[in-house]
Structure 1
Amino acid sequence: MKTASPHRTTPPLLLGASLLFWGIQVGLLPLACVMAILLELSHPVRFRWAFSKKDFNRISDLCALLFVGIFAWLLMVHRSVFIIFTTMMWLPAVLFPLVFCQTYNTEPQIDIRSISLFLRKQKEGPQSGTPFAVNLNFPYFALCILSASFAFNKNSGFYIGFMALSAGALLAVRPARFSPISWAILFILACYGGYAGHVGLNRLQLYLEARGLEWFYDMEREDADPYRNITALGYIGHLKRSDRIFFRVRPRTGVQVPLLLREAVYDQYSSSNWYAIHSDFERIAPEAPEMVWPLGKASAPAAGIEVAAHLRSGQGMLKLPGGTFQVSGLPLLNLSRSRLGAIRVKEGPGLIRYTARFGHEVLSPPPSENDLLVPKAERAAIDQIVSELKLETGPPEKRLETLANFFEQNFTYSLDLNSGNTLTPLAHFLLKYRSGHCEYFATATVLLLRAAGIPARYVTGFSAHEFSLSGSWIVVRERHAHAWAMACVNGVWQDVDNTVSTWRETEDEAAPSWQLLSDLWSWLAFRFSQWQWRQDAGDFSGYVPWLLIPLLAIVVRKLWRTKRIKPVRRAESSPAPVRRYGSDSEFYQVVEKLNRMGHVRNPGEPLSDWISGIGRSAEGRRLTASLRPILMLHYRYRFDPEGVTPRERRVLQEKVRAWLIRSEKRDEAGDAPQS
């Protein structure tokens, strides 16, 4: 009988406290509570399992599969460097099955060869067990603290918890020759020095990152121009767009749908492409501690939306209404704005959710001479339309209305691209073909307004208009990408979207039949991302601990069925039954004797069926009449988790010996043994 080792490698509650600390930091407290309770129950609970080396092989393989599965899933959902941080935060949960089995094992240590793929193939020698024995408690304790450090929480609570846990761990191994007072003084000095060094290194890192990013960006900008919008003007063929859901929008009060969400603004046009020249990005400082990012002067009445979008490699452009004056809820380190009002994110998580408050007036810098330029290549066609519509005279509002009616009544929306042989793509669109997509309408609107003396700019972004099946979110697909103009009328900028009103219906008609299935998959990935980046941790964290219960139930049931569970009896309890696997059962001598007598047992044939088959004949019945009770004892000795008592073990030996003696006498007398 094996008993639990009285030696504890870690003091009680230390592993449980480290797991709770990890759960608080990474937002998985319910899961951490379940894990901590399971480990700390090992102190009052006396029973243990006898795990073999092969068992630990399988458990370590399970942990490896969990790690690979989590990393692969995160890689599919978030193509960002932040998946490394998220994977590190999950390591205590991934390795928990291994620590759990070590805790409830009859031995307090694990042969490291059983959990290492490289050492498993080494041959075991007579003294090979000791050098490879390792206890995982303290490494797991350190892993919990390390994983907690990858959380995005920036507060002093981490360091306080770290010091408290370190004190508990170090007290357990404090040398007796040091007094508690001396030890406490040295520990406090070490904590103070560590905290000072931590703060200093953190500030140095932030300084070097800020300066390094600026230097790198300046050098990169000399070699490449990141401020160009390449349009599809002049292309021939059919413009295909993906139905993939790009991001989601939840409208708040005062929001009218469809809603235009701006992503970038351009002010110079050349050779069918738009550019934003001299539009460096400047960093925006948030209003601490609420993490509110002011973008302009507040206006009333104000409306609001909530946007949930993925960031590729932790960076991207914010999707905002033109009149956005405030953004909140962004857990970001770097938010910057271009000269024309585009907002860029850097160093963000894989999924961001932010709230934008906006008014009716579009916020953008005052107009410049660039906002009135018309390229010479387009001047002839533009002047012809301006003259026909008489856009140079009249109130600005009236001229905007005239231009909108001109496009709505004389043009159609089409993704089939065409181009003239002698005219520019834009001139062919205005004078001949009069059918195209949003980039044609937006470019023509900007240049016509400029020729009419109204400053205008080219805007790209998305149109949010398709509600999800739940009705609470607006799904914005990649094919909802849109382009429009913004015009300065009486000193105030406003959006001007002259794409014919049927464009949304035309885009929706091209949706494939399997769109519902792809939307369902996108929704599942979105909900997982919400939980993974703790945007809605309260909605999901309560269910996480339940995922561990089926896994533990399967492991325990499997071990019980394979007869490896060994309950430990207290010393004052009654004598425990002998617990053996039964491979040395004397009944196998009976099996060998029957085989020699010609009653050969087929491979894998149950003993009870085999003996029943022998007893079908008259001679066989006399031969096996006394074997039934012996077989029952053998089964209990071989398979029953409780085993047999020493007295029953002696009964089995005596009955087998008696049967063999009778069998020998039968062979000598030519008759079967009697029971």
Structure 2
Amino acid sequence: MIIPPLLIAASLIFWGLESGNLLLGSILAISTGGAMFFQQRWTLTDEDCVQVSDFTSVIFISTTALILLNVDKIVLLKTLVIWQPLVLIPLLLAQLYSGRENIIIRTRLGFNRKRTFKHEPLDFRLYYFPLTLLSAAMANSRSELFFPGGILLFFWLLFVNRGRSFSAAAFAGLFLLTAITGYLGVKGAERLHEYVNAQIRRHWRGYFSSQYADPFQATLTFGSVGRLKTSGEIFLRLKTDGIPPPLLKQASYDLLGKNIWIGNQTFAYLPVEDMAWDLIPRPHPPGAEVTIEYYLPKEKGLLPQPYGSFQVKGETLYELEQNVAGTVKVVDGAPLVTYEISYVDNVGRKSDQSLSRNLVIPVELEQLLAKVTEDWHTTELQGMAKVQQVKHYFADGFTYSLALQGRGTFSSALENFLLGSKEGHCEMYATATAMLLRKLGIPSRYVTGFAVSEYSRLEHKYIVRERHAHAWAEAYVDGNWLIVDTTPADWLTIDSRNRSTLEWLQDILAYLRLKYSYFRINTEQNYRLLLSGLVIVLSVILLYRIYSRIRAEKVATAKQKVRRTFPPPVSPFNRIEDALNKIGVPRKTKESFILWARRVNDVHPIDLGLIEKLFEKHRKLRFDPRGMAQHELDFFYEMTGKWLTNHEIFLQNDHQNLPLDEKEKSNS
């Protein structure tokens, strides 16, 4: 199969658009597409291919570690796939810019130089192109251009590799028909999926509504808070200049059914104005401000807030929603959100009114509540007096306990709590309080949140542990929702008795985890730059190690060609050889010059010592690749000229009697 470099370049731009890395994708596209216009090719040996594979493996391992430090583990695989076009680019460039049709992918990481983990030679382009499309799809940008962009790339690939029996027009027509059919099929499947889901939701909502429950709304299972009471893990921190709010409200619930509280989960988008979210309409009264650090493992959840909150600010909060009761839901945020929230006492929401559902009592509880209140004389009591009556009831004989009593000999756990054991945790008190208030005609609801009481000297902040999770009731009296917390006041002290003896160590680890979380948040937006820089640096090292050796070999070869191309330099010593030949002592076959000169000297003195010195200079000029220094060369010419002048009787013509002039020196 043929995969043109420009097709890979186009797929990289497509990947850059879908993954939000258009600049990086364009750079990679230029580097791959340039192979068509760069005529020179490097010759890569099998050892070079091993080095490319080794460095690619190092890049892959480093990238995996870097992604693991910057994203949640649940999206590790997805993020890693998205970045594969960048991670594997060295292998592709090695093939495109070499003379190899196939590249050998081996690695010896963990092995010695003689042992490698070997694969057969392959055309890496066949794997890189579909991997680029997969990475673009994994980015899941939901762009309207994804489908037509992918279709065009596939058309290009199939058109280049089409059978020659198909004309271009026929192939294009059939491909277009297939693409339209596929698009309509995908859209039809999406619509069918939405319709089936809607029908299932409608069916089960109707069923569970009759059972006083709704699985498609946020609910709190009766008794879940109690299981958190033994945990000392810190997951919320609070910093303020004054006294902190005693309670942080998270959500409220209106209907009770089958031990499940159901809340109003109709949320509306909360707009941002001046880098802040207004929880109640402006103008805002002056109030206190508190900074809260709160973990959102799934990057979404309900936002804890003090009573009377009217404005939220935070760079790690991206999108918020709110319902009519004031519950704030984080639709998108960081794993650790830090937000400043302003609040003031006795500020309510005009939209947060009492509803008919705030007076609903499950049928199975009517008899129990009537039995509890039969001796109460509340006919002539008004709103607040009825609330006080409920508080007085729980203040007499009720105790706090983390032990789940169950229903015992009674028909339900709530009946056992009210008429039997009279001990339980905050969920029991809040549920019973809300039901008794409704029995007295006071609209009420069940509320979950956290109590703020513990100050950390290590962090210089108030901390909220999992055992500080709390539940209480709210009563609607005189147009306002009031806190009605009937849980015995010593519940925090009792909960703290169950803390671990190593809680101090857990606090230190939690503090380090907080610092690490801030590191992740601060670098999460820059990890693309870090990944790109990592690949670039390692690729430069790779190219230097491989191509520097190739370059050195090419330069050395060029020098050798230069020496063979140009004739050797002309030596003035040749004139001395010509003069010696005139004496009449012929040179024997394979006789060295020195031996011949000695025989000539026996016939006629020729200053043999100077001849031998000049002969050494002659050999250096001819054969030493370093050549001769200028002053040494000048001395060589000067002494040769003197010898010729002193022995001019050996020369046969006037031209040979003259010493070498400057022009002859320059020509030599």
- For Structure 1 versus Structure 2, the TM-score category normalised by the shorter chain is 0.5 to 0.7
Match for residue 596 of structure 2?
A: none
Residue 229 (structure 2) pairs with residue 216 (structure 1): no
Match for residue 373 of structure 2?
A: 383
Kindly report which structure 2 residues correspond to 1:223-262, keeping only aligned pairs within 5 A, or say none: 229-232=220-223, 240-244=229-233, 257-258=245-246, 260-262=248-250
Match for residue 658 of structure 2?
A: none
Question: Using a 3 Å threshold, how does the CA distance of structure 1 residues 331 and 40 change in structure 2: closer, same or farther?
Answer: farther
Kindly report which structure 2 residues correspond to 1:409-424, keeping only aligned pairs within 5 A, or say none: 414-415=401-402
Q: CA RMSD in A?
A: 6.7
In structure 2, what residue type is equivalent to 1:95?
L
Question: Using a 3 Å threshold, how does the CA distance of structure 1 residues 418 and 170 change in structure 2: closer, same or farther?
Answer: closer
Q: Distance in 1 between matches of 2:342 and 2:414?
A: 36
1:293-338 CA-partner distances (Å, limit 9, x unpaired): x9999586499999762339xxx86446699999997789xx998x
Q: Distance in 2 between matches of 1:567 and 1:507?
A: 75
Q: Distance in 2 between matches of 1:198 and 1:255?
A: 63
Q: Answer yes or no: is the 8 Å Cα contact 2:309–2:342 preserved in 1.
A: yes
Residue 15 (structure 2) pairs with residue 22 (structure 1): yes
**Aligned residue pair count:** 525
Which secondary structure does the structure 2 equivalent of 1:310 belong to? coil
Question: Using a 3 Å threshold, how does the CA distance of structure 1 residues 183 and 352 change in structure 2: closer, same or farther?
Answer: farther
| Structure 1 spans left out of the alignment, 5+ residues | 1-6, 578-645, 649-675
Deviates more, 1:211-220 or 1:426-435: 426-435
Residue 73 (structure 2) pairs with residue 77 (structure 1): yes
Residue 457 (structure 2) pairs with residue 482 (structure 1): no
The Cα of 1:19 is off from its aligned counterpart by 4.3
Q: Distance in 1 between matches of 2:105 and 2:310?
A: 59
Q: Distance in 1 between matches of 2:135 and 2:245?
A: 44
Question: Using a 3 Å threshold, how does the CA distance of structure 1 residues 173 and 454 change in structure 2: closer, same or farther?
Answer: same
Question: Using a 3 Å threshold, how does the CA distance of structure 1 residues 71 and 540 change in structure 2: closer, same or farther?
Answer: closer
Match for residue 437 of structure 2?
A: 449
In structure 2, what residue type is equivalent to 1:77?
K
The Cα of 1:134 is off from its aligned counterpart by 0.8
Question: Using a 3 Å threshold, how does the CA distance of structure 1 residues 10 and 123 change in structure 2: closer, same or farther?
Answer: closer
Which residue of 574, 579, 589 maps to 2:559?
574
Q: Distance in 1 between matches of 2:387 and 2:64?
A: 58
In structure 1, what residue type is equivalent to 2:433?
T
Q: Distance in 1 between matches of 2:21 and 2:188?
A: 31
Match for residue 92 of structure 2?
A: 99
Match for residue 255 of structure 2?
A: 267
Which residue of 96, 102, 108 maps to 1:109?
102
Kindly report which structure 2 residues correspond to 1:100-249, keeping only aligned pairs within 5 A, or say none: 100-103=93-96, 107=100, 109-111=102-104, 132-136=121-125, 139-156=127-144, 200=184, 203-218=187-202, 229-232=220-223, 240-244=229-233
Question: Using a 3 Å threshold, how does the CA distance of structure 1 residues 240 and 196 change in structure 2: closer, same or farther?
Answer: same
Q: Answer yes or no: is the 8 Å Cα contact 1:461–1:481 preserved in 2.
A: yes
The Cα of 1:484 is off from its aligned counterpart by 2.0
Per residue, is there more helix in 1 or in 2?
2
The Cα of 1:251 is off from its aligned counterpart by 9.7
Which secondary structure does the structure 2 equivalent of 1:548 belong to? helix
Which residue of 5, 9, 12 maps to 1:10?
5
Q: Answer yes or no: is the 8 Å Cα contact 1:15–1:36 preserved in 2.
A: yes
Q: Distance in 2 between matches of 1:148 and 1:46?
A: 30
Q: Answer yes or no: is the 8 Å Cα contact 1:487–1:494 preserved in 2.
A: yes
Q: Answer yes or no: is the 8 Å Cα contact 1:408–1:501 preserved in 2.
A: no
Equivalent pairs: percent with the same residue?
A: 25
In structure 1, what residue type is equivalent to 2:360?
D
Q: Provide the TM-score with structure 2 as the length reference.
A: 0.55
Match for residue 638 of structure 2?
A: none
Q: Distance in 2 between matches of 1:259 and 1:194?
A: 61
In structure 1, what residue type is equivalent to 2:383?
P
In structure 2, what residue type is equivalent to 1:438?
C
1:577-606 CA-partner distances (Å, limit 9, x unpaired): 9xxxxxxxxxxxxxxxxxxxxxxxxxxxxx
Kindly report which structure 2 residues correspond to 1:323-334, keeping only aligned pairs within 5 A, or say none: none
Q: Answer yes or no: is the 8 Å Cα contact 2:256–2:361 preserved in 1.
A: no
Q: Distance in 1 between matches of 2:29 and 2:457?
A: 40
The Cα of 1:96 is off from its aligned counterpart by 3.5
Question: Using a 3 Å threshold, how does the CA distance of structure 1 residues 308 and 491 change in structure 2: closer, same or farther?
Answer: same
Which secondary structure does the structure 2 equivalent of 1:546 belong to? helix
Which secondary structure does the structure 1 equivalent of 2:476 belong to? strand
Q: Distance in 2 between matches of 1:417 and 1:111?
A: 66
Which residue of 494, 499, 514 maps to 2:505?
514
Q: Distance in 2 between matches of 1:473 and 1:184?
A: 72
Q: Distance in 1 between matches of 2:529 and 2:247?
A: 36
Question: Using a 3 Å threshold, how does the CA distance of structure 1 residues 517 and 307 change in structure 2: closer, same or farther?
Answer: closer
Question: Using a 3 Å threshold, how does the CA distance of structure 1 residues 159 and 121 change in structure 2: closer, same or farther?
Answer: same
Question: Using a 3 Å threshold, how does the CA distance of structure 1 residues 457 and 155 change in structure 2: closer, same or farther?
Answer: same
The Cα of 1:366 is off from its aligned counterpart by 0.9
Q: Answer yes or no: is the 8 Å Cα contact 1:327–1:354 preserved in 2.
A: no
In structure 2, what residue type is equivalent to 1:379?
L
Q: Distance in 2 between matches of 1:107 and 1:546?
A: 28
Q: Distance in 1 between matches of 2:199 and 2:333?
A: 23
Question: Using a 3 Å threshold, how does the CA distance of structure 1 residues 36 and 255 change in structure 2: closer, same or farther?
Answer: farther
Kindly report which structure 2 residues correspond to 1:304-383, keeping only aligned pairs within 5 A, or say none: 309-311=296-298, 318-319=302-303, 360-361=348-349, 363=352, 366-368=355-357, 370-372=359-361, 375=365, 378-379=368-369, 382-383=372-373
Which secondary structure does the structure 2 equivalent of 1:574 belong to? helix
Which secondary structure does the structure 2 equivalent of 1:482 belong to? strand
Question: Using a 3 Å threshold, how does the CA distance of structure 1 residues 421 and 299 change in structure 2: closer, same or farther?
Answer: farther
1:140-159 CA-partner distances (Å, limit 9, x unpaired): 34433442233343445657
In structure 2, what residue type is equivalent to 1:262?
Q
Which secondary structure does the structure 1 equivalent of 2:138 belong to? coil
Question: Using a 3 Å threshold, how does the CA distance of structure 1 residues 92 and 506 change in structure 2: closer, same or farther?
Answer: farther
| Structure 2 spans left out of the alignment, 5+ residues | 109-114, 563-623, 627-668
Which secondary structure does the structure 1 equivalent of 2:559 belong to? coil
Higher relative CO (Cα under 8 Å, sequence separation at least 6) belongs to 1
Which secondary structure does the structure 1 equivalent of 2:197 belong to? helix
Which secondary structure does the structure 2 equivalent of 1:215 belong to? helix
Question: Using a 3 Å threshold, how does the CA distance of structure 1 residues 265 and 105 change in structure 2: closer, same or farther?
Answer: farther
Q: Answer yes or no: is the 8 Å Cα contact 1:109–1:134 preserved in 2.
A: yes
Q: Distance in 1 between matches of 2:457 and 2:546?
A: 46
Q: Provide the TM-score with structure 1 as the length reference.
A: 0.54
